[in-house]
Structure 1
């Protein structure tokens, strides 16, 4: 019988005990204690993986990496994102997993009398599986992390520039937190159209809640004010602390065109 076929048959006949050995070996080396459901899930995955691996050695038409293994890798990344975990928490599991698996296949190779060359071929195939799994996990984590960060940015941007109606034809736009290019673009793309759809005559832009701002952002905000004025909306500015006022002075903004008030109350009193 072909030695690879014997190896494949051995894997198939002992797949459950081998999968258990892998999981327990990895947990022992990492000194991890995981819930029973998670352990069972890992065992089931390694049963499928080892069975596939054994079959792939004697079936040249078999794909190099099974879809279920790639899906499993992606799910690991998704679980880390949902629990605010780090990709390093997954990455550290790969070296001990690799060691345990290589020790197992080498022991089987010795028991079945495979040559060094044949064992090296098996190890190479196994390393390829693990490398692709790790890459897919990292790629999925990065993609999901960016998607999560974008959602968070949108939520923060919405919170940082709420539209607050105070009386007929008058709204307050309190700018809150750190204002950067992303939030300025959010205001242009989402806030301005909402204001334009409302029956607004006055908009009070309150800067008292802004932590930091630079000259470029100040100029962008001035452009937003100009857009609103072109829409027939009078823009009143409040809450410009001395350090923010200094940035405005140092910019290319025409200060004489800004209707500035000490606070929102004063601005409201000026609205007739």
Structure 2
């Protein structure tokens, strides 16, 4: 057992040197081009990991250091923020396992570990790396979903912004492809915000709309009717001929709705 204790103590006492070796070996093995700060961050994490690992081997118990879990989550967070793929992180794990295996084999020979003891050390470090990999996956998936939801909300807000132009007039520019998600966003979020402004006129600008279908045309009429029931005067501007044809084809009667070719003309009508 003393050989395993010597092995464990050596790992704990030389964690910094061994960690730098692991990081550099993985970088060279995979021909990675990563910034120096990222190498230093990985090295520091492995310093803590090997410090814990040496202690765990001596006490014959298995535990994953919290620093490794936090490092794994941070890796995932940086990858999501930069728009990178999870595969760019995952591909490093096999090389890391190989480097640790070679390192432990070398030290096992130096300290006279048995085959069983060497296998245990390698198995334990691989189990810890498995936890790190799982935490990275979970964090990446969770953060990606949140990032996508936030991005979608930003796009929805940009697709129907409220633009105050006069004290009692706002312009509602509709931008891009009008689909059920954007219509729902307007109904659930935009109309309540318009109501809070106590405006008398809403100019709905269609000049930025790429395309609509019959169903969306019906929904847009519902939005207009909702605003009118709130006592707001709805004015339409910027309808192109192709959009007009879609609206007419949908059977919507807009003869009683004030419509103008441009937002400028619509504004002049309410001054």
Q: TM-score range by the shorter chain?
A: 0.7 to 0.9
Local SS of the residue matching 1:237: strand
Look up the match of 1:51.
51
Local SS of the residue matching 1:86: coil
Look up the match of 2:84.
85
Look up the match of 2:220.
221
Measure the CA separation in 1 of the matches of 2:20 and 2:98: 15
Instruction: Tell me the TM-score normalised to structure 2 length.
Output: 0.86
Query: Pairwise CA RMSD of aligned residues?
Result: 2.6
Look up the match of 1:102.
101
1:197 CA drift (Å): 2.0
Measure the CA separation in 2 of the matches of 1:245 and 1:94: 58
Which whole-Å deviations, capped at 9, do the CAs of 1:140-185 have from their partners, x for residues lacking one?
2222223333333333322222222334533221111233343333
Measure the CA separation in 2 of the matches of 1:11 and 1:236: 75
Map 1:3-42 → 2, pairs under 5 A: 3-42=3-42
1:70 CA drift (Å): 0.3
Map 1:133-152 → 2, pairs under 5 A: 133-152=132-151
Measure the CA separation in 2 of the matches of 1:225 and 1:30: 59
Local SS of the residue matching 1:55: helix
Measure the CA separation in 2 of the matches of 1:165 and 1:47: 57
Map 1:1-272 → 2, pairs under 5 A: 1-60=1-60, 63=63, 65-251=64-250, 253-255=252-254, 258-271=257-270
How many pairs were matched up?
Answer: 271
Q: Check conservation: 2:12, 2:53, Cα contact below 8 A.
A: no
Cα gap change, 1:187 to 1:33, in 2 (>3 Å): same
Cα gap change, 1:14 to 1:197, in 2 (>3 Å): closer
Local SS of the residue matching 1:226: helix
Q: Check conservation: 2:202, 2:235, Cα contact below 8 A.
A: yes
Instruction: Tell me the TM-score normalised to structure 1 length.
Output: 0.86
Cα gap change, 1:223 to 1:47, in 2 (>3 Å): same
Local SS of the residue matching 1:85: coil
Structure 1 unmatched runs, 5+: none
Measure the CA separation in 1 of the matches of 2:56 and 2:251: 68
Local SS of the residue matching 1:58: helix
Of stretches 209-218 and 22-31 in structure 1, the one that deviates more from structure 2 is 209-218
Which whole-Å deviations, capped at 9, do the CAs of 1:9-29 have from their partners, x for residues lacking one?
231233222112101101111
Measure the CA separation in 1 of the matches of 2:68 and 2:247: 56
1:254 CA drift (Å): 4.8
Measure the CA separation in 1 of the matches of 2:131 and 2:220: 47
Which whole-Å deviations, capped at 9, do the CAs of 1:227-253 have from their partners, x for residues lacking one?
111101122222232333344345474
Cα gap change, 1:220 to 1:54, in 2 (>3 Å): farther
1:208 CA drift (Å): 1.0
Measure the CA separation in 1 of the matches of 2:259 and 2:91: 56
Measure the CA separation in 2 of the matches of 1:131 and 1:79: 20
Measure the CA separation in 1 of the matches of 2:34 and 2:165: 54
Measure the CA separation in 2 of the matches of 1:68 and 1:12: 16
